[in-house]
Amino acid sequence: MAGFNAYGGLKNQLPILMKWIGLAGESLHKELAEEIRTMVKEAGGVTLNALEKMTLVKSVTYEAMRIEPAVPYQYAKAREDLVVQSHDASFEIKKGEMIFGYQPFATKDPQIFEDPEEFVARRFVGEGENLLKYVLWSNGPETEESSPENKQCPGKNLVVLLCRLFLVEFFSHYDTFEFEYKTSVLGPTITIKSLTKASTI
């Protein structure tokens, strides 16, 4: 967790998460706080079992990763001749050629995601979980695991877990917040302007 990738990734990812949840507004904050506090109370603390029951927390985490991947660009050289396909075209790539990928082209695909430019908090709840295979923030489908055979982030499960834990900790203590953000090359800079302490814990 102290390595360069983890530091760089979470330094971008946590502000991105707060930006989109902040923009979603107070009603979502209240829903998150209620789900988190209810599940933590039922479990007698923050447990993995409690986290798994927090469907809204999971969904908003994935939705933030979908709408604004922390690392949107990928580069690689083709190891063999291959064909990359979109919905309506095919592209032949020769071994040794440089490949450039821009994730938001896929994660905001209107043929996959309804209202792709909108942050939809419950997008991945219930049947929406079937869309997780199109969430590619980790350089591969969210439903697949990293391995020596692919270039998927080996810490992807840890990143998702830490984002969810961050939300649990935050909304255990606060009902809502107001903020400002500035966009930069390295991701948003978040400034918290006000915090409303938890009315119930």
Which residue ranges make up the annotated binding site?
153
| d(C-alpha 191, C-alpha 176), whole Å | 14
Helix (H/G/I), strand (E/B), else coil: 54: coil
Instruction: Report the Cα 53 to chain-centroid distance in Å.
Output: 18
From the annotation, which residues make up the binding site for heme?
153
Closest Cα to residue 28, out of 65, 60, 55?
60
| d(C-alpha 54, C-alpha 125), whole Å | 10
Q: In a 10 Å sphere around its CB, with 0-12 CB exposed, 13-18 middle and 19+ buried, how is residue 138 labelled?
A: buried
Specify the length of the chain in residues: 201
Name beta bridge partners: 84.
91
Q: In a 10 Å sphere around its CB, with 0-12 CB exposed, 13-18 middle and 19+ buried, how is residue 152 labelled?
A: middle
| d(C-alpha 31, C-alpha 48), whole Å | 20
Phi-psi region of 45 (alpha: psi -120 to 50; beta: other; left: phi over 0): left
